[in-house]
Chains A and B, each alone.
Chain A
Amino acid sequence: MGMDRMGPQKMEKLTPGWQTFDHVADIGIRGMGQSIEEAFENGACALFSLVVDDLSKISPVRKKKIACASFDLTGLFVAWINNLIAISDMEQMVFGRFSVAVKETSLSGIAIGEKWSFEKHGRGIEVKGATFTEATVRKENGLWIAQCVVDV
């Protein structure tokens, strides 16, 4: 579970963590980890870093279960992010901790967070959906990277 990895990854050389990256009109999110699961969890942190001002202020109050599948790993990452966007919208919640298990191209996971309070968490930008632009899940120098551009 990504309990202790809430913090942006700024180094050029990628290490486990998360970061956002440039896109001309929108913005990219990227999670890095020792495993596919860790990369997916960190990618989710990158997503919510856009929505709130400070991820560390999200308390682990409620858990939401998420299950999704796709035809490949990249599709699975996009589906994971889209499921998080939908649940956040429907439940008016924000999440800062995640735990996933990936089996081939299926995922079962938990997002942990709380009801969104603008006073407590601040307000960033609305993410409309995860896209396949610059979407990839790959292993590079022993590190798993999961990323995509999100439409904002």
Chain B
Amino acid sequence: MDLARLKKVSECVWQIPKSGEMRVPALIFADSILLSEMDEKVYTQLTNVACLPGIVKAAMAMPDAHWGYGFPIGGVAAFDPDQGGVISVGGVGYDISCGVRCHRLHIKRQQLLPKLDELMNELFRSIPAGVGSTGKIKLTVAKLDDVLRHGAIWAVDKGYGTRTDLEFIEEHGRVRDADPSKVSITAKERQKKQMGTLGSGNHYLEVQFVEEIFDKKAANTFGIEEDDVVISIHCGSRALGHQIGTDYLQILGAAAKKYNIPIRERELVCAPIRSQEGMDYFKAVGCGINCALANRQVLGHLTTQIVQRVIPEATCKLIYDVSHNTCKLEKHQVNDKMRKLYVHRKGATRAFGPGHKELPKAYREAGQPLFIGGTMGTSSFMLVGTEKGEELAWSSACHGAGRSMSRRAALKRWKGKGVIKALKKQGIILKAASLRGAAEEAPEAYKDVERVVEATHRSGLARKVARLKPLAVIKG
């Protein structure tokens, strides 16, 4: 991206001034190196988002932003329904509520290592991963509707995990604005056999250890110390979310025409929040979120059972479960007044600061934990939400490293077996359902997550808590 077109607000905050049909300016949170490497499409897509009706304050991009569908990945925007605000498919994406949950095992790396092979074999055998995989849970459409209404609460009621887990999931495990009648039969039929599956692409289950603590107080709150073992699970709403995205791209496309909303990119289709189509989509997104929360809860429980079987001295307590691709109704301060806004986070993490009443009591003083996925060979990070993040970006932060190389280019450069071998040399076990998937996900195909996290920290969006290093990975 050409820095000359941007106005520098501070070291890690840059502005695209309001011009033309933009209703608000755009803000990009990144350092100059991340910005110079960011594709031009982020600029175009952000300015397009800034033109949408009812947008409040600014269209925003997180430090890991890259070219997306309508919104950039890493795009954040809030809309006020009282000001004609809209809801957009591009602001949520195809994998609704894709997110990360992290469990702490209360054991040190040295205690785990003798049992790591056995643990990974058991996890790989029991966690369905990869394209075409199906879970043990088979649902009818009617039973799936219960999942869509109740999210992780459904999973706990069915014996997957405990009530305590729910406190450590966004929305306490369930969004209330979910109406299964707004989700197509095709979406439900696709999902019936996919509950409790990891998926493929960049989804993973990773056993990690805490390599370095940056914020001892927050780390203590989240129950981790250096050398502790944690397990992170990254996946989403599976086929259901994908089909909701596909279906509503058509529905909101027609709605945008009906309500005379100019659309600058086909995936930026939207409808007024206060329209039938807009509300239908919001309630369908709620179903997608609940589906993802239930899916991760099932996977978390399967993981817990295996951990406790293989390593009886370990526990597997959920630290927190965060979602990335969402549109949520939240209260935020706008010009000294509290307003209810529809906050879109596409490839961005909600990051509530200290004191937020949505947070579990145990974390209320510290703020919300966030988990930023790196690559199979580098680091991931634990961060914590800040008060400044609320002022800057509706309490939002980055979500991952972001690719720097296309999948085709990665396939040309690496072979799956070579990637597994190279990781093994670093002491990292990779279990991959697809060798092609392993090659496409080679660590070198991603951007430097450290720089993304550093920019997030320095801009004040969220604060670094700990660096996590991979020991073993399951890839779909």
| Chains A and B come from one and the same complex | yes
CB distance A90 to B440 under 8 Å?
no
With both chains docked as a complex, state the minimum distance between the C-beta of B442 and any C-beta of chain A, in angstroms: 14
CB distance B66 to A128 under 8 Å?
no
Residues of A within 8 A of B253 (CB): 71
With both chains docked as a complex, state the minimum distance between the C-beta of B98 and any C-beta of chain A, in angstroms: 10
State the main secondary structure of chain A at its contact with B.
loop
Which A residue sits closest to B408, measured CB to CB? A22
Residues of A within 8 A of B356 (CB): none
The listed residue (B190, B403, B434) touching A125 by CB distance below 8 A is: B434
With both chains docked as a complex, state the minimum distance between the C-beta of B362 and any C-beta of chain A, in angstroms: 35
CB distance B69 to A92 under 8 Å?
no
Decide yes or no whether A24 CB sits under 8 A from chain B.
Answer: yes
Q: Which of B237-245, B376-384, B458-466 contacts A (4 or more CB under 8 A)?
A: B237-245
Complex Cα spacing A114 to B460, Å? 53
CB distance B406 to A23 under 8 Å?
yes
Residues of B within 8 A of A125 (CB): 131, 200-201, 407, 434, 436-437, 440
The listed residue (B95, B249, B406) touching A128 by CB distance below 8 A is: B95
The listed residue (A25, A26, A132) touching B266 by CB distance below 8 A is: A132
CB distance A132 to B186 under 8 Å?
no
Most chain A beta carbons < 10 A, residue from B189, B199, B201: B201
Q: Which of A34-42, A55-63, A116-124 contacts B (4 or more CB under 8 A)?
A: A116-124
The listed residue (A26, A128, A129) touching B407 by CB distance below 8 A is: A26
With both chains docked as a complex, state the minimum distance between the C-beta of B219 and any C-beta of chain A, in angstroms: 32
CB distance A24 to B186 under 8 Å?
no
With both chains docked as a complex, state the minimum distance between the C-beta of B343 and any C-beta of chain A, in angstroms: 22
The listed residue (B199, B245, B408) touching A129 by CB distance below 8 A is: B245
Decide yes or no whether B433 CB sits under 8 A from chain A.
Answer: yes
Complex Cα spacing A73 to B249, Å? 16
Most chain B beta carbons < 10 A, residue from A25, A27, A70, A82: A25
Residues of A within 8 A of B134 (CB): 92
Decide yes or no whether B276 CB sits under 8 A from chain A.
Answer: no
Complex Cα spacing A21 to B406, Å? 9
CB distance A126 to B201 under 8 Å?
yes
A residues 79-116 with Cβ under 8 Å of B?
79, 82, 85-86, 89-90, 92, 116
Residues of B within 8 A of A89 (CB): 190, 194, 239
Which A residue sits closest to B409, measured CB to CB? A22
The answer to whether residues A51 and B69 also contact, given A20-B408, A124-B437, A126-B201 and a CB cut-off of 8 A, is no
CB distance B201 to A131 under 8 Å?
no
Decide yes or no whether B262 CB sits under 8 A from chain A.
Answer: no
Residues of A within 8 A of B68 (CB): 25
CB distance A124 to B267 under 8 Å?
no
With both chains docked as a complex, state the minimum distance between the C-beta of B407 and any C-beta of chain A, in angstroms: 5
CB distance B132 to A118 under 8 Å?
yes
CB distance B67 to A24 under 8 Å?
yes
Decide yes or no whether A135 CB sits under 8 A from chain B.
Answer: yes
Decide yes or no whether A152 CB sits under 8 A from chain B.
Answer: yes
What is the total number of residues of chain B having a CB less than 8 Å from a CB of chain A? 44
Complex Cα spacing A70 to B95, Å? 23
CB distance B476 to A126 under 8 Å?
yes
Residues of B within 8 A of A132 (CB): 69, 249, 265-267
The answer to whether residues A129 and B132 also contact, given A24-B66, A53-B436 and a CB cut-off of 8 A, is no
CB distance B69 to A133 under 8 Å?
yes
Complex Cα spacing A123 to B133, Å? 10
Residues of A within 8 A of B132 (CB): 51, 92, 116, 118, 123, 126
CB distance B242 to A129 under 8 Å?
yes
The listed residue (B67, B243, B245, B436) touching A124 by CB distance below 8 A is: B436
Residues of B within 8 A of A92 (CB): 132, 134, 193
Which B residue sits closest to A23, measured CB to CB? B406
Residues of B within 8 A of A21 (CB): 408
Residues of A within 8 A of B199 (CB): 126
B residues 52-110 with Cβ under 8 Å of A?
66-69, 73, 93-95
Which A residue sits closest to B69, measured CB to CB? A131
Residues of A within 8 A of B265 (CB): 132
Residues of B within 8 A of A85 (CB): 242
Decide yes or no whether B358 CB sits under 8 A from chain A.
Answer: no
Interface string of A118-152 (1 = CB under 8 A from B): 10001111111111110100000000000000011
Residues of B within 8 A of A131 (CB): 69, 94, 267
Q: Could you give 27 example pairs across A and B, Cβ below 8 Å?
A: A22-B408, A22-B409, A24-B67, A24-B403, A25-B66, A25-B402, A27-B408, A85-B242, A86-B243, A89-B190, A92-B134, A118-B132, A123-B132, A123-B434, A124-B434, A125-B131, A125-B200, A125-B201, A126-B131, A126-B200, A126-B476, A128-B245, A131-B267, A132-B265, A151-B94, A152-B200, A152-B201
Q: Given A51-B132, A123-B132, 12 other A-B contacts at CB below 8 A?
A: A22-B409, A23-B407, A70-B250, A89-B239, A90-B186, A123-B433, A124-B436, A125-B201, A125-B437, A130-B246, A132-B69, A152-B200
The 8 closest A-B pairs by CB, nearest first: A126-B131, A132-B266, A126-B200, A128-B242, A22-B406, A123-B434, A89-B190, A151-B94
